[in-house]
Every structure is written in structure tokens, then in C-alpha cells.
Amino acid sequence: MIWGGVEISGSHKEGATGYVILASRFAVESVDATRLAARNQLSQNTLLSGLVRDAYEGCLNINRVANEMLPNCRFAGVADEFARGVKSLESCWIRLMRPPVKSTPLYNLVWADRYKLLLIHLLDGKLLGI
């Protein structure tokens, strides 16, 4: 069975690997969408306060897994990339925790992305051993 461009049928190990790849792709796409949302708010919303603007600008530097790593199944260093991604999102999330920034839509996007990357980071070590 193919889901999200990834073959997920087959042996248990292959299914687990496919699941991690698929979940990783969705997490990376989600982080990219969050970064785009922050960039759009900065360029289009002239009503952002200085504090909100500073927090959003700090979130534009979210690290991400290189696009060619997942489609080509090159996992060398992917665990380190995800660890950097989680750390980068954590830094962004901390910036967004202060009022009034916490009440902005970007806070919820970053919060969700943070947990998606944490899940992938845990799965890659448990299921793939990388």
C-alpha cells in the first residue's frame, strides 16, 4: 500500500521504516508551512507590535531536514538533523511563550511542529536505530 508517496506494506521493519519516513515528510512540510506563515505575517501584517515582530523574525531561522534526505532514503545524519530541528523549534517556541505573543496563531503552529519533530526524533531512534 502506498500512502503519501511511501510504500508502507511489507514486513514489520519495512512498515515501521515507511511510517517514520512518511511521518518525517509530514513534519518537514508542517515546519515549512509554519515558516511561510511567519514570513507572510511579517511582510503583510503591518499591525504587528515590535515584540511580536521580533519573535516572528526569530522563528524564520527554523532548521529543517534537507529535502533530498527523505525522498532518497539517505538517513546518515538524519537523527542529528532532527535534533537540531527540535532545538531550533524549541528556541522559537520559547520566544513565542511571552504575552502577548503567546496569543498569536504562530504559537499554536510552532507548538504542533515541535511535538511532531519530537515524535519523529523518538521514532527514528527506536524503530530505525539511527
pLDDT at position 75 over 80? no
| CB-based contact 89:117 (threshold 8 Å) | yes
Whole-prediction pTM: 0.72
Whole-angstrom distance, CA of residue 37 vs CA of residue 110: 10
Cα 27 from chain centre: 5
CATH number at residue 13: 1.20.140
Q: What is the pLDDT of residues 12-62, one digit of tens each?
A: 556 677 777 788 788 888 888 898 999 999 999 999 999 999 999 988 877
Print the domain residue range for 123. 2-128
- The number of distinct structural domains making up the chain is 1
| Cα dihedral 64/70/73/79 (nearest 10) | 30
Which pLDDT value is given to residue 66? 45
Whole-angstrom distance, CA of residue 38 vs CA of residue 50: 14
Residue owning grid cell 502577548 = 100
